[in-house]
Amino acid sequence: MVIKLAHLSKHYGDTPVLEDIDATIEEGEFYVLVGPSGSGKSTILRIIAGLIPASGGDIYFNDKKVTEAAPKDRHLAMVFQNYALLPFMSVAENIRFGLHNLHLSEAEENDRVADALKMVHLTELADRKPKELSGGQQQRVAVARAIATKANLVLMDEPLSNLDAQLRNEMREELVELHKELKMTLIYVTHDQTEAMTMGERIMVLNDHKVQQVGTPLDLYNHPRNEFVATFIGSPKMNMFTVAVDELGKTATLVMTDEDQRPAVIPLPEPLPAGTYRLGVRPEKIKLSLTSTSAYDVPVQVVNVASLGRASNVTLRNHDIEFIADVAEQFPEDAQAAFVTFPTEAADLHFFAPDTGLAVASPEEKAGVSHGVA
Ligand SMILES: Nc1ncnc2c1ncn2[C@@H]1O[C@H](COP(=O)(O)OP(=O)(O)OP(=O)(O)O)[C@@H](O)[C@H]1O
């Protein structure tokens, strides 16, 4: 099923919740809606399901307009955060209950329940009541109930958020596998960018009632089209600096309030018009060493070393600018001072206009390679 959202909007009274949302979700795609709390993700899902009306715009399923269609006529399945299992019914009965509206023969119902149970590895627990299951098992029942309907479109709203970290990881992998097997169109809501990045084939990033960017995980990571996406996607976050590009457009200097040390000057791989920019640099692109190694490195104070075992996230300060280097080694925890080298590859330097927050197009993008909005 191909889902199209055209100029979708929603407001409650004067309060806007969604503004002009455009998207095409392809047949069989695992499509993730991600954004901070209140950005309107669940509202989009509920409008697609027909549970709430849009204030404006249209929805199409395979080119058929369904904007006004009743939920039962949309033939989709939904998995909610709270699972919504019926407590007095067994696991099998809960799954069967989801088939009620499809008017299948009893034999067909039995087959679908058995198949769904097998797919989520719950055959053994078919006769248990939900309260006799762990959180992860309850989640599996909710997923089984959705897949037993064989709906071409499945909507999931933060389905893993009640699970502990390890179980959440396992369930992420299981859902990705299940989707590969069943190939239904899946629209998945999460506020967790890691979840979006690990699961989604394409991701819509929402903020401030609007679509910020749509792309594959690597599109968003490598080519964020604005400062919001740049800092929302990735962990630890992309570092943001205010820099001044010189008259010749050949260097960017970190703008600092305290001028008594040597400023950080970054040679630019490609010239930029002179002026003030916001510069984003991913923490793993900042080189850190205990001794000075080049004319371009910058002395920094070490504020904190967070050891992850195989890597360290090191918080650094230069004058009043704090930023993080993510180094693939165990950095000495007692280090007080170090030297950083900023990257010099164009791909690792993300420039944004300070007023609009929009990415300053690289020559590649000017040549027409797009990392589009919708
Ligand atoms: N019935 C309602 N009346 C008024 N405002 C509402 C109503 N339902 C939702 N909102 C508001 O709409 C905005 C978007 O809500 P929505 O649930 O879609 O956000 P979300 O991105 O899914 O957030 P979360 O991750 O917290 O669930 C919020 O600011 C919310 O307060």
| Half-sphere exposure for 79 (CA within 13 Å, toward CB) | 28
pTM: 0.91
CA angle 57, 60, 61 (to 5 degrees): 155
User: How many angstroms separate the alpha carbon of residue 183 from the centre of ligand 1?
Assistant: 30
Residue nearest to atom 17 of ligand 1 (CA): 42
239 and 219 co-located in one domain:
no
Asked, for residue 129, whether it belongs to a domain, the answer is yes
Convert the pLDDT of each residue in 196-207 to its tens digit: 999 999 999 999
Asked, for residue 80, whether it belongs to a domain, the answer is yes
Rounded-to-integer distance, Cα 8 and Cα 44, Å:
9
Convert the pLDDT of each residue in 35-60 to its tens digit: 999 999 999 999 999 999 999 999 99
Mean pLDDT of 117-145: 90
197 and 77 co-located in one domain:
yes
pLDDT range class, residue 254, cuts 50, 70, 90: confident
- pLDDT for the residue 264: 81
Cβ atoms 352, 226 nearer than 8 A: yes
Helix axes 165-182, 135-148, angle to 10 degrees: 20
Q: Who lines ligand 1 at CB under 6 A?
A: 12, 17, 35, 37-43, 191
Residue 293's φ and ψ, nearest 5 degrees, are: -120, -15
348 and 244 co-located in one domain:
yes
Rounded-to-integer distance, Cα 211 and Cα 46, Å:
17
Q: How many domains are there within the chain?
A: 2
70 and 192 co-located in one domain:
yes
Q: Using CB atoms within 10 A of its CB, is residue 370 exposed (0-12), middle (13-18) or buried (19+)?
A: exposed
User: How many angstroms separate the alpha carbon of residue 43 from the centre of ligand 1?
Assistant: 6
Rounded-to-integer distance, Cα 283 and Cα 348, Å:
10
Higher-pLDDT residue of 294, 179: 179
74 and 214 co-located in one domain:
yes
User: How many angstroms separate the alpha carbon of residue 12 from the centre of ligand 1?
Assistant: 10
pLDDT range class, residue 259, cuts 50, 70, 90: low
213 DSSP β-pair partners = 205
User: How many angstroms separate the alpha carbon of residue 215 from the centre of ligand 1?
Assistant: 24
Convert the pLDDT of each residue in 331-371 to its tens digit: 999 999 999 999 989 999 999 999 999 999 755 555 544 45
Asked, for residue 374, whether it belongs to a domain, the answer is no
User: How many angstroms separate the alpha carbon of residue 210 from the centre of ligand 1?
Assistant: 13
Higher-pLDDT residue of 140, 61: 61
pLDDT at 306 over 50: yes
- pLDDT for the residue 111: 94
User: How many angstroms separate the alpha carbon of residue 166 from the centre of ligand 1?
Assistant: 28
- pLDDT for the residue 366: 52
User: How many angstroms separate the alpha carbon of residue 37 from the centre of ligand 1?
Assistant: 8
Instruction: Tell me which of 173, 203, 228 is where a domain ends.
Output: 228
Q: Given ligand 1 and candidates 9, 10, 17, which is best to mutate, with the most ligand atoms within 8 Å of its CB?
A: 17
Asked, for residue 302, whether it belongs to a domain, the answer is yes
Sign of CA dihedral 264, 267, 273, 279: negative
- How many percent of the chain have pLDDT more than 90? 74
184 and 245 co-located in one domain:
no
172 and 200 co-located in one domain:
yes
pLDDT at 257 over 70: no
The tokens describing 119, both together, are 């797919």
User: How many angstroms separate the alpha carbon of residue 11 from the centre of ligand 1?
Assistant: 10
pLDDT range class, residue 374, cuts 50, 70, 90: very low
Residue nearest to atom 13 of ligand 1 (CA): 38
User: How many angstroms separate the alpha carbon of residue 171 from the centre of ligand 1?
Assistant: 26
97 and 140 co-located in one domain:
yes
Distance of CA 295 to the CA centre of its chain: 38
Q: How big, in percent rounded to 5, are the helix, strand and coil portions of the chain?
A: 30, 30, 40
Asked, for residue 296, whether it belongs to a domain, the answer is yes
Asked, for residue 175, whether it belongs to a domain, the answer is yes
Residue nearest to atom 31 of ligand 1 (CA): 38
| Preceding omega of 267 cis (within 30 degrees of 0) | no
Q: Given ligand 1 and candidates 9, 10, 12, 156, which is best to mutate, with the most ligand atoms within 8 Å of its CB?
A: 12
- pLDDT for the residue 180: 94
Rounded-to-integer distance, Cα 221 and Cα 203, Å:
11
pLDDT at 161 over 90: no
Residue nearest to atom 9 of ligand 1 (CA): 43
Here the CATH number for the domain that contains residue 238 is 2.40.50.100
Comparing 141-145, 214-218, 358-362, the range with the smallest average pLDDT is 358-362
Mean pLDDT, the chain, integer: 91
pLDDT at 88 over 70: yes
Instruction: Tell me which of 228, 250, 274 is where a domain ends.
Output: 228
- How many percent of the chain have pLDDT more than 70? 95
Instruction: Tell me which of 200, 228, 256 is where a domain ends.
Output: 228
Asked, for residue 371, whether it belongs to a domain, the answer is no
Q: Given ligand 1 and candidates 8, 14, 39, which is best to mutate, with the most ligand atoms within 8 Å of its CB?
A: 39
205 and 288 co-located in one domain:
no
User: How many angstroms separate the alpha carbon of residue 290 from the centre of ligand 1?
Assistant: 48
Asked, for residue 372, whether it belongs to a domain, the answer is no
Higher-pLDDT residue of 173, 363: 173
129 and 49 co-located in one domain:
yes
pLDDT at 17 over 50: yes
Q: Given ligand 1 and candidates 42, 44, 46, which is best to mutate, with the most ligand atoms within 8 Å of its CB?
A: 42
Residue nearest to atom 7 of ligand 1 (CA): 12
Domain around 187: 3-228
189 and 66 co-located in one domain:
yes
The tokens describing 46, both together, are 């509920």
Rounded-to-integer distance, Cα 255 and Cα 210, Å:
31
The tokens describing 252, both together, are 């960017």
The ligand 1 atom at the shortest distance from the C-alpha of residue 13 is 4
190 and 295 co-located in one domain:
no
